[in-house]
Amino acid sequence: MFSHLPRTVRNKLPRQHGLVPQSRSVARRLPLSKRARGGQVNERLPFVPPEDWHEPREDSTGYRFVLQSPGSGYRHVLTPADVRARLAELPAAFTDPLEVVQFSRMTRKKQSFPCYGMQWGSSLYLYPIEDSLVEYYNLPPKPNQVNEARMFGGIWSQESARVWKLVWTEAAIKDFYLNNILIHELGHLLDDRNSRQADRERYAEWFAIHYGYLPTQHLRRRLPAAPRGMRRARR
């Protein structure tokens, strides 16, 4: 049934038990996948670890949560209970490689390249959103970004000549994080086939549609079709 999925391994993670500098060197070589807000991604930027590195463990005690304050003017969308309940709906093997889910703090530095979520090593990071549930951008959204937001209830509009905004409701943003962002980042964690960033992103988008959006369609009043650019054929 799941023959098209990657093997459940720890994201090609070399286990290191030596000195701390050696572990840091390993961390820098691991795939790091971000879910940028507004689609403003520059893959040519140098690698700078934006988060604390959580050293992988050899045990199988399940995943844990790391909770940080969201920061002034921001709020976390989900709770640990929300995440645990949603992940429990997936096949158990999907969470075997997962060790940490971190609710990250929004800092001044992170505001310059805001993200919804990120996968790094065996950890998933979820970022807070504005208290107002309104995001502002100085670049227009791409058509696939407009469609994706609409799938989960988010609405893009142009505020002024050079300002665009994305507005969420409480229900819509929770749906977006639970059934898109969280599942998207888990897809990155399970992807042990692809190494190119573009290929990894396509796989994570397919994974989020197949295991996040489609199984929860019945929970939404409006059921827009998934945009073609976010589908991925079986491999």
pTM across the whole model: 0.76
Residue indicated by tokens 């893959």:
43
Burial tier of 224 (Cβ tally within 10 Å: 0-12, 13-18, 19+): middle
Question: Phi and psi for 69 in degrees, rounded to 5?
Answer: -60, 140
- For the chain, which ranges sit under pLDDT 70? 1-50, 58, 221-235
Instruction: Catalogue the E-assigned strands of 107-212.
Output: 115-120, 123-126, 129-130, 134-137, 155-160, 163-167
Say how far residue 24 (Cα) sits from the centre of its chain.
23
Q: Is 14 a domain residue?
A: no
Q: Is 165 a domain residue?
A: yes
For residue 67, which amino acid is it? L
Query: Which range of residues forms the domain containing residue 201?
Result: 20-230
Q: Give CA–CA dist 142/146, Å, rounded.
A: 6
Q: Is 8 a domain residue?
A: no
pLDDT in tens, 83-128: 999 999 999 999 999 999 999 998 877 777 778 999 998 999 999 9
**Domains of the chain: total:** 1
Number of other residues whose CB lies within 10 A of the CB of residue 13:
17
Q: Is 55 a domain residue?
A: yes
Instruction: Catalogue the E-assigned strands of 37-114.
Output: 64-67, 74-75, 100-103
Q: Is 46 a domain residue?
A: yes
Q: Give CA–CA dist 34/185, Å, rounded.
A: 8
Q: Is 149 a domain residue?
A: yes
Q: Is 24 a domain residue?
A: yes
pLDDT score for 23: 36
Q: Is 5 a domain residue?
A: no
pLDDT score for 128: 95
Residue indicated by tokens 């086939």:
193
